[in-house]
Chain A
Amino acid sequence: MPRRKPVPLWTIVRKEIIANLLSYKFFIVILLTTLLLFTSFFVLYKDYKGRLADYELVRAKPGEPIAVLPPNPLSIFAKGLDEAMTRSFEVSRIGIAVFAGQKSGNIIFAYFPTPDFVYIVKVVLSLVALLFGFDQISREKESGVLRLMLSNSVSRAKILAGKWLGNFLSLSVPFLLVTLLGFALINLDPGVSFPASSIGRFFLLVLTALIYIALFLSLGIFVSALTRRAASSLVILLLIWTVSVFVVPNLGTLVSRQMVDVPSVKSLSEKQDQVWTREVLELIMESRAKNGRGTGDIAKNHFDAINRELNQMEEDYRNKFDRLVRLSKNINRLSPAASFVYASTELAGTGIGEESRLKENVLRYKDSVLPNLERGEKQAAAFAYRYRSVGQVLAQGGLFDLTWLVFFNILFFALGYVAFVRYDVR
């Protein structure tokens, strides 16, 4: 009897890849996602260039007490809060005036916002991964090849791992090629100055996307191992997909709004107006009483009072708002889609964490230049902002989100294995 070596995993991986390459489904799906990604890269690259040109117009002249950031080149891939972060914050004695910064000039954007890379991965590629996974087991059961495969000396674990790997490679290799090509093309433009750390950030961003896509593939295979028919598997998966991509990420915000009472921006500014009115009226009354003598001191006292009170209000508001954000972030993390968005935007430097840090920096900037302004000096120090390093991003939640995504992967794969071992192949 000839000795028979165990079946190499690669045999099954290779079969899956060839089967994909030979199917129409594969080509249509890859073509569409390629088209979508390139369109997104192109449009958002143009958008970035436009916003960069705007920035050149509004950027602070030497000595102006204005905090304004140039658009972040990685926002081409992960737009996140970049538009909010690139508004210009003008410091004056009466507070900070915020001006819409570099808005994209394209009005049609409001109707049909071009999805960025993060959105395409979150919505489209997760669906594509499910389409690759949903009939992995049932299709082969129906055609009888599963029985034929299992009549050989090959374990179910190996078949499952081979399927997973084969489909992951079929999906991720074209995706990687398209994405890296897009990144390289944009890099050819010397006008887009990616800072040195961008390459690392971009690769981490892509890695996060791959983990996220893999997770949906694992989920797809898991559900296909639970169902006898591909159609029921598809229905279940579409439901899960809708809930995790669209419902949960909004639900978290909704629920936490019920739990944390944050005043609206409008009521905040009304209260601020009230403070102003009150103090100014008192100022007028007091200076009348003193017949205009020593009004300078009185005015200073009242302005200080205004500043104190407004600062207090804003700090209050910010604290509540931070609590709201933290809470809804944590609820939203029930869905891997939310974790993916947090991790990828923070890596790009356009996430909520980066934005609130920027705001803190702007406030600190205000505090530092305000004395100069009050002394009537015309020159203020320039505002400088350094984005958090990749290490800081990872330490402040990024690593958690990545680990969470990996955990989902392992969980779904393990569940898929358990379901497949119990699967009736007849």
Chain B
Amino acid sequence: MTKQNPILRAEDLSKRYEDGVLALDHLNLDVRPGEVYCLLGANGAGKTTTINLFLNFIPPTTGTCYIQGIDVTKDPLEAKKYVSFVSENVMLYGNFTARQNLEFFAKLGGKTNLIKEQYYQVMRRVSLQEKAFEQRVKTFSKGMRQKLGISIAIIKDAPAVLLDEPTAGLDPKAAEEFLEILGELKNEGKAILMSTHDIFRAKEIGDRVGIMKEGRLVMERTREELQYEDLVKIYIDYMKSEPLTA
């Protein structure tokens, strides 16, 4: 793989919350076009904090996030043009139909002149049932909402995609479909950063896998390296080891 400039880049990123919790401790990380980066780590390891920092939802204590080379804190509005986001539990507008939700968020993402058929195409692509297209989202199951959430990310067509535990609570089939779509996005050249608790799927889809512990990236492996190592064993070993900080 040719080394291209990373689209997502965290440099020396730290976050200490107001109550003193050091949630992120000098994190360095980058994700290149066509690459899927999986962040693993126990609850409270700092995965969501990382994603929130990329989206400028919270200011970093030290360090910088770059999206497409743009400093997120300096020019958030410009940076956010180049990123799509899928959150853990997408509730969306319950009274809106799937298509209305998709249409609104597409417009927010800068896609203003799409026709109905284009919305339908994207929903078909994430294999949402045809009859759900014009149904109110409050009747949707979690999996259906999650599919709609990723169709919102797809329609924005941004070079970077951030996903926070997107497969949490999905049944195995839905999760499998979800990862297929992720693979397609990767083949389109998107840089994908995904936090997850699913070690097996991380190994399957991830071009690189990082394990976080107490706000630090304690391990990083490429797909090639993982062919010879047991990710589950590494993960458990890291979790079992002594706390990093006294």
Contact = CB atoms under 8 A, between A and B. Distances in A.
Interface of A: 1-2, 4-5, 7-8, 11, 15, 18-19, 22-23, 142-145, 147-155, 424-426
A153 B57 contact: no
Contact of A147 (B77, B85, B108, B109): B85
A151 B67 CA distance: 12
A153 B89 contact: no
A3 to B, nearest CB: 9
Contact of B91 (A8, A11, A22, A143): A143
Nearest to B80: A153
B57 A426 contact: yes
- Closest CB pairs A-B (n = 4): A4-B110, A143-B91, A151-B85, A22-B95
A354 to B, nearest CB: 47
A5 B110 contact: yes
Given A151-B83, A152-B109, A152-B110, 17 more contacts: A1-B159, A4-B81, A5-B112, A8-B112, A11-B107, A11-B112, A15-B104, A19-B96, A23-B95, A143-B92, A148-B92, A149-B105, A149-B108, A151-B80, A152-B80, A155-B77, A426-B57
A109 B162 CA distance: 65
Interface in B74-114: 77-78, 80-85, 87, 89-96, 100, 104-105, 107-110, 112
A143 B77 contact: no
Interface string B54-88: 01011000000000000000000110111111010
Interface of B: 52, 55, 57-58, 77-78, 80-85, 87, 89-96, 100, 104-105, 107-110, 112, 149, 152, 156-157, 159, 162
A23 B159 CA distance: 36
Contacts of B162: 151
Q: Is the interface of A mostly helix, strand, loop or mixed?
A: loop
A401 B86 CA distance: 49
A22 B100 CA distance: 12
B100 A18 contact: yes
Contacts of A11: 104, 107-108, 112
**Residue from A4, A144, A150, A155 whose CB has the most chain B CB atoms within 10 Å:** A4
Contacts of A148: 85, 87, 90, 92, 105, 149, 152
Contacts of A154: 77, 108
A7 B94 contact: no
Given A152-B80, A155-B77, A147 B159 contact: no
Contacts of A7: 107-108, 110
- Specify which of B83, B85, B96, B107 lies most central, judged by the most chain A CB atoms within 10 Å of its CB: B107
Contacts of B156: 152
